[in-house]
Structure formats: structure tokens, C-alpha cells
Structure 1
Amino acid sequence: MRFFSLSVLMLLVTLSGSAQAMLSIEISKALAQLKPLAVLPFADEDGGENIASIVRNDLTRGGLLKIVAENDLPMGLTLAGTIHPDSWQALPGDLLLRGNQRREADGKLSFSYELLRRDSAAPLLAERFTVSSSRWRDAGHYISDRVFETLTGEKGIFSTRIAYINVYERDGKRRYRLELSDIDGARRTRLLDSNEPIMSATWSPDGRSMAYVSFETGQSQIYIQNLQTRERKRLTNFEGVNGAPSWSPDGKNLLMSLSRDGNAEIYVMDIATQALTRLTNNPAIDTEPRWLQDGQQIIFTSDRGGRPQLYRLDIASGDSKRLTFEGRFNAKAAPSPDGRFVAMVHDSGDGRYRLAVRDLNTGTTDILSESSLDDSPSFAPDSRLLVYGSRQGGGRGLRVQSIDGKTQWRIPTQQGEIKGPVWSPFLR
């Protein structure tokens, strides 16, 4: 029976990347010609926090649109009715978003908005809707998604969520929380709190459940938890390692790494019956399996070549082929939802563990970050943005960047050490 050294095991559990890519993103000619978008404060009788700030920040983070800074908005723009030609002339672009928000008699919030273009008689987009007061931020993210898709042709990711592990202290003792938040870090909610480690969280394809590894019984075990009901179900309780769960694209099966037979191998479990099928049989340590979008292939980490590298396995034939050769360490594979890219933790040989992305179409690999110890890349459902844990400035937090390196932002820090982020699928 063989084991990774403790240092390699820790790297496989915690590593990832940061910020500077050379991969190209195809943008339509129409998108490239878009002028800046001005987002006006929504008319608001209550005078509370304005939903326009959420929309403006969302669309700025999206990276494909130029958003006029609030301080650069010209005076005299009306929140309703016809916009005077002089006001259009004062704008630095041809696009304008405006609307209003008000509280109804039953306490619900009503929103209406319109997306206007200079010299266009009709709005590009106009909607009216009502939500409960607790879903105020949902309304802002929804408007952002609709505007983004109207202008770019790409589905917005602003209503998605990010899960992560928060390692914090209570009464001088270390504790672990599995938490969820909006992609801007707001509305943090707790899914599980434990005095034992939690790791390897992963979303189900429908966004309704999560699988993760918990050590609450003293050894690693894989659980599934329903996000709505909070009901939990333990899937594995084998001796040794029970780790690295990954949902199949159809949500019916779960990949995992088990050492039940003495060596860490890749298995697939039918979730309904909990029947197991072994996929690898090698003296090396095989771990961190991830499905490719076709559901017929997986990518996993193995040291069968002497050091941890990524391998691709065809499920039908059982054939495995080495995928990565650059650098002395490649692990923590994160395939993009569109099946084109694989993000990974990469060490070129200088002892710095950074984020890299491999284009499966061209076979090229580009390093995205300049940090020395980052963690767990995870693609947004648009296959264009990545979230990862990063140790910068003495602490661990979450960062987001596009794979072309042009869009980057940091999710606000909070108490504790934040790591192991995973981006949800589209949630509506």
C-alpha cells in the first residue's frame, strides 16, 4: 500500500491560482462596438439602498461591458419620460438603464426598468415585476442578468452563488463552516458547521444539492445535502480515504476516490442505489476525479508518472492517457462547463503553486496567476470566469478573474480563512 507524503496530500487538498492570462476569448464584432452603459439610480420613494448600485457593480464585474462610473453621470437625465437630445449628447455612450423601485401596501417590492439606446424609438428591454422584501438583492442580480444577456448574447452569471470552506476559531478552537454567498460576497449563509474538517464541496448540476467530505466522525466520509431542506445523506463509510466527490453531468452518479481496497482508486457511485463501479486499477494514487461535460470521460490526478499530473480516462474503454506534461506538478482539475478548458494548480518547478488553464482544443497551457500558493479553481457556468482561493497579504480569501486576464476582482474578506471555493451552475 502506497501513500503520498503529507506535503503532497496537503497540496492536493488546498492548492490553486490567480491573475494574468494569455488565452483569447471570442467576442462578437457587435459586442466589441458597444458604447459604455450608464446605469442611473432607480427612482425610490423610500430612499433606501438603491438597486442600481447592485446592477452597476454586477455589470462591471462581468467584464464584457463598459459601465459609466456613477460620478461621471451627467446632470439632467430624467428617471422617466423622454430623454432630451442634449442629455443624450452629454452621455459618454449610447446606452442607458433606468427604472424605479417602490414598496407596495403588502410590503412587497415592485421594480420596473428599461434599457434604452440612443436613436432607438423602443427600449431594448423593459420589464416590471414584484418580489418579497427578502429578495431585494435577487431582483438586482436578475436585472443584471437580463441586461447582460440582451447586450452581449451571453447568459448572465450574477444570480449564481459560490460555496466555500471557512476555517475560523471559536473559544480558541478551530472550526469549519461550509458557507454560501452571492458572487459579490453578500448574503453569506451557513450550510454546515463542524469542529472537524470539511472539504471538497461540489454542486449538483441542478444547483439543489451539494456533495462534500466531512471528518465529523473522525474519518473522511462523503455526504450529500439538500440546500432547501438541509437534509443530509451519508453516501460512504469505508475504511481509509473517502474523498473528492464529483457529480456526473446528468446528476445521477458521483465520482469519488476511495482506498477501500488498500490503494486510492477512482470509483463511480450510482446515487440512487449506491452501487459502486471501480474505474482505475493502478499502484499509483488516483484521486480528484472530475467529469468532462460529455459524461463519457473523466480527468483525475495521479502520481503514476512519478509526480502528480492530470490524466484523462475514457469510461467505456477504461483507457487512461496522461494529459499534462508541462511542469513538475499539475492537480485539482476543474473542467469548464463548455468542455473546452481545464483549470488546474500548476508548479513550473519553482515551488510556486499557481493557477493554469489548458485549452483542450489546442493543447496549449497558460499560467494565469503570479501568487505562490492559491487554491481550488472553479469555473463559473459561463466558462469565462474562475473563482479561486488565494493567499495574499498574509491571509486567505477568494478572487475571481476571467481566463483572458482582463477582468479581476476580490470577494470581500471576512473572519476566518476562506478556501475551497466552488461556483454554482445557473440557478434559474
Structure 2
Amino acid sequence: MLTRPFGLLKFCLLACGISAASLANAALTIEITQRLNEATPIAVVPFGGVQSADNTGAIIAADLDRSGSFNVVERSKLPSLPSSSAEILPSVWQSVPADYIVVGSVSRLPDGRLSYRYELLKRGGLERVLGETFTVDSGRARDAAHYIADKIYKQATGEPGIFATKILYVNQYNRDGRKRYRLELSDIDGARQVTLLDSVEPILSPTWSPSARQIAYVSFESRKPAIFVQNLSTRQRTKLTDFSGLNGAPSWSPDGKRMAMTLSRDGNPELYVMDLTTNALTRLTNNPAIDTEPRWTSDGKSLVFTSDRSGGPQIYRLNIATGDTKRLTFIGKFNARADISPNDRHLAMVHQAGGNNYTIALQDLSNGIFSTLTDTPLDESPSFSPNSKMVVYATRKGNKGVLGIMSLDGRFKLRLPAVDGEVREPVWSPYLR
């Protein structure tokens, strides 16, 4: 039933025939599999005052712990549970093995909103290096906790935090003996999972708009591939393309005005760009090879993409204005499904390491250094965090599809398996605006 243009699906490692467990709840869980020994020790005291199901301090602690940059001190080692710096006795807290201490509290205002107050203290003289009071609507308790964790991360490391961002992914499951697919959205800690689309036909290649207010993806719900755009707040869906043949691999330009994609409307899979205001199409490549999986550089002037024009799948860069194309990868006979880091420094890709093993590899675009990040045999779909520090990807644990997150130096790893079902095709959101 697959025609030649769908030969490029091997680049994407779709493997739609893998089995799936029945789905009761597609929420993700967290398993930290490797830590940094030199991570900064930090004590996060449970917040005082009004709390929702999860204590604000516990959410902040979990965020920082999963970042790979911090080692959170166990609660049992805290000498007391202060909610402000005024309640801390320096002589007692000097013995706590932490470079930083986080304290705070939550109160409910008469109108029902929640007021948050937090402080970040340096251990030495318990110096207050960060503090803030703010209010949120009552349903945004987790947003408030992720916001505080982001502020602490930025203060301590100098880099933006990513705890308030989201992950989009596909969950494959069985219902009544029939395979189904869900497009899921969750916090990066797996909480607050939302189903955006549920279909008996495959869902592929989800991607974010730069504003994080819209997503695009490929759906086979009409029995052939079509690219859809969906508004996250209204849930309104628009079919963007439905040409004969392949409609695949959508990718938003950094300014949000154009969409790169792969189409075979003229016979062969080629790269196109659509103006999202006029829907006008511009063809970018004209090669007898398969050109697919475009991703924009941050300046919107170039695309990196996969092509087998050299005899096997490799990564290339296309200058949109001139049409000049340059091969970027040379190590290994298979490199595909690349993502470029938001700072344009690295490429993450699916790399055939030998035999039938597919791993996630990293190439430094400034010096050409190529390294393999993962050592599991069936990894796919790498996507960078918006601060360019981590990569999320699809992998296997036993016979089940899970998501993995890894720091670029490979020293911190965690897994996000679904409670049920197979999770794959992850893509990390940009910073939420």
C-alpha cells in the first residue's frame, strides 16, 4: 500500500507495526537513570501556607533535580521547615550540605487567587540572592512552581530554565483490539497530560509554532497523509495541505510566517515552503533523490534536511536565497531526522551506529566534532530544549516505547515512560510566551 515516496519513512523510523499495551492513562512518569556527581547541592524547603495536591516546594525540587545541574538535599536532612529567611537560624543551617536554600509560602487571596512568596539564599552567610512575590489564578499552581524553578535555575547557572515548557508526542495504544494514536501534550515532567487528537490512523511529525500557540502535524485520518495546523487554545484544526502523494515533515519558520515541508505533488519528494498568509508554495529542491525532514536555522535563511542524494541518508544545509546546498554529515552511512539547536551550535540526529542499531548522535557545527549520545539500539526523533542544553528523543525500554531526555554532554539521563501505551515522536516546545 506504500508507494515510492513513502520510502522516506525509513528515515523517520516510524515502525508503525510495533505492538502497544492497552491505554488507561497516557500520563508520563519520570525515571532518572544517570546523574552528575558535581551538580550544585540545593535545599528546597516544603512551602508553607495553602497547597494544592503537590507541595510547591516539592515541584520546584523535582524540577531542579531533573535538570542535571542540581542535587537536591533530602528532606530528612533539613533541620527545620522555615517558610521565610526570617525564620532561619544561620547557626543551625550552616551544617546543611547545600550551596543554596529555597524557602517560600503560598496564601489564598479573598478573590480566590494564589499569592506566592519565595526566596533563594546562599549558604555562606544566608545571603538573599533572589526573592519575589506574585499572584496567579487558582488553577495555575503548577505553572507558578515551574516559574519559580526557572528563576532559580537562571540565577544559579546564568542560563534560562526550561521547566515551564511543554513536550508534544504521539502515544500509540490499543482499544478493543484495534491500534489507535493520540497526539498528547504535557509539562516536561509528564504532568497535566492533554489529548489533542485521537485517531485510528497514524499521527506523525508534530511540530511547534515559534509562539507555542499552535502546532502542526501529519495525520492519515483521511487514509492518506495531510498536514494539519491546530490552535492550542481553541482546538480549531485547519488542513494545510492535502496534495496527491506525500504531505510530510512540517516545520515552522522562526518568524511563524512560513512552513517548510516535504511534498511529492510533482512526482518526487522535494522540499517546499508555504507562505502561511497566502498559502503560496515555493519549491526549494529539484533532485532525483528523496529530500525530506527540513528544519530551520534560527535566522530563517537556511534549512537543514535529510537527503539520500549521496547514496544513503545524510544531513545537508540549504541556503534558501541562493539554493546552495552543503553536505554536513560524513560519519556513518545513515544520518537522518536532524534537529538543529536553537543556538545553531549543534545538530542532533538519528545515526546508524552499526548493524540495525540506531542511536542519537550529536555534531558540533562550529568544529565538526561528531559524537554518539545514546547507546540504546532503537532511538529516534531527537528534539532540543529551547535553551539548547538537553535533547528529548524516543527510545525503547524492554519492548516498550518511552521518551528519553539527556544533557548534551551525556552525563545526565532520564526516561519518561507512559503509564500505558507507546510514546514516540517527541518535540520540545519553545519558551512559552
Give SS of 1:346's match: strand
Give SS of 1:149's match: helix
Give SS of 1:140's match: helix
- Residue from 78, 83, 95 that aligns with 1:79: 83
Greater CA deviation, 255-264 or 61-70?
61-70
* 1:239 aligned partner: 244
User: Is residue 54 from structure 1 mapped to residue 55 from structure 2 by the alignment?
Assistant: no
Q: Distance in 1 between matches of 2:88 and 2:276?
A: 57
1:14 maps to a residue whose letter is L
Give SS of 1:151's match: helix
Q: Distance in 2 between matches of 1:46 and 1:290?
A: 42
Q: Distance in 2 between matches of 1:60 and 1:411?
A: 15
* Contact 1:77-1:87 at 8 Å conserved across structures: no
Q: Alignment identity in percent? A: 52
* 1:98 aligned partner: 103
Q: Distance in 2 between matches of 1:45 and 1:265?
A: 56
Q: Distance in 2 between matches of 1:35 and 1:54?
A: 18
Shift, 1:351, TM fit: 1.9
* Contact 1:44-1:50 at 8 Å conserved across structures: no
Q: Distance in 2 between matches of 1:296 and 1:250?
A: 11
Q: Distance in 2 between matches of 1:46 and 1:258?
A: 51
Q: Distance in 2 between matches of 1:374 and 1:92?
A: 38
* Contact 2:12-2:380 at 8 Å conserved across structures: no
When residues 264 and 11 of structure 1 are mapped into structure 2, their CA distance, relative to the original with a 3 A threshold, is closer
* Contact 2:209-2:252 at 8 Å conserved across structures: yes
How many residue pairs are counted as aligned between the two chains?
411
- Residue from 158, 178, 181 that aligns with 2:183: 178
Greater CA deviation, 143-152 or 107-116?
107-116
* Contact 2:90-2:126 at 8 Å conserved across structures: no
Shift, 1:391, TM fit: 1.1
Q: Distance in 2 between matches of 1:224 and 1:45?
A: 40
User: Is residue 250 from structure 1 mapped to residue 255 from structure 2 by the alignment?
Assistant: yes
- Quote the RMSD (CA, aligned, Å): 2.1
When residues 5 and 82 of structure 1 are mapped into structure 2, their CA distance, relative to the original with a 3 A threshold, is closer
* Contact 1:328-1:349 at 8 Å conserved across structures: no
Q: Distance in 1 between matches of 2:124 and 2:76?
A: 25
String of CA shifts for 1:374-404, please: whole Å, max 9, x gaps: 1200000000111011112110011111010
When residues 277 and 303 of structure 1 are mapped into structure 2, their CA distance, relative to the original with a 3 A threshold, is same
* Contact 2:5-2:268 at 8 Å conserved across structures: no
Q: Distance in 2 between matches of 1:35 and 1:168?
A: 40
String of CA shifts for 1:25-53, please: whole Å, max 9, x gaps: xxxxxxx8x95211001113568531111
Gap regions ≥5 residues in structure 2: 16-31
1:183 maps to a residue whose letter is I
* 1:24 aligned partner: none
Q: Distance in 1 between matches of 2:178 and 2:50?
A: 47
User: Is residue 42 from structure 1 mapped to residue 47 from structure 2 by the alignment?
Assistant: yes
**1:168-207 aligned within 5 A:** 168-207=173-212
* 1:420 aligned partner: 425
* 2:29 aligned partner: none
Q: Distance in 1 between matches of 2:260 and 2:49?
A: 50
Shift, 1:10, TM fit: 3.5
When residues 109 and 266 of structure 1 are mapped into structure 2, their CA distance, relative to the original with a 3 A threshold, is same
Shift, 1:120, TM fit: 4.7
* 2:9 aligned partner: 9
